[in-house]
Amino acid sequence: QKEVEQNSGPLSVPEGAIASLNCTYSDRVSQSFFWYRQYSGKSPELIMSIYSNGDKEDGRFTAQLNKASQYVSLLIRDSQPSDSATYLCAVKYIASKLTFGTGTRLQVTL
């Protein structure tokens, strides 16, 4: 069974620090990778997608993919209290559905 694993947290970081969120997946035959942010009581919101090995930067967010080690991470620089949310990692396997992890809860403290 293809799985996506995340530490549920909470991950607590002070305001202005770098938050590092990690995700591992079980199958090498993966196609694309997504990070969604979900505020409490709200729906998931896409913040990053990454398809090839290496880093992809978008503003304060950087996604990192290492297919050989089967992990994908999300770095949030200059963390703000508004970044406090649950971050869902999702992996799209070839010819299959999008599989979500259980999410990591991030708390940015003042």
Partner 1 sequence: EAGVAQSPRYKIIEKRQSVAFWCNPISGHATLYWYQQILGQGPKLLIQFQNNGVVDDSQLPKDRFSAERLKGVDSTLKIQPAKLEDSAVYLCASSLEGTQSNQPQHFGDGTRLSIL
Using CB under 8 A, list all residues that contact partner 1: 4, 8, 31-32, 34, 36, 41-46, 49, 51, 88, 90, 92, 95-98, 100-103
Q: CB of 69: closest distance to partner 1 in angstroms?
A: 21
Q: Are 33 and 72 spatial neighbours (Cβ–Cβ below 8 Å)?
A: yes
The one-letter amino acid code at 66 reads N
Q: Are 56 and 62 spatial neighbours (Cβ–Cβ below 8 Å)?
A: yes
Q: CB of 31: closest distance to partner 1 in angstroms?
A: 6
Q: Which is nearer to partner 1, 49 or 70 (CB)?
A: 49
Q: Work out the angle at residue 79's Cα, subtended by the Cα atoms of residues 73 and 84, and round it to the nearest 5 degrees.
A: 85
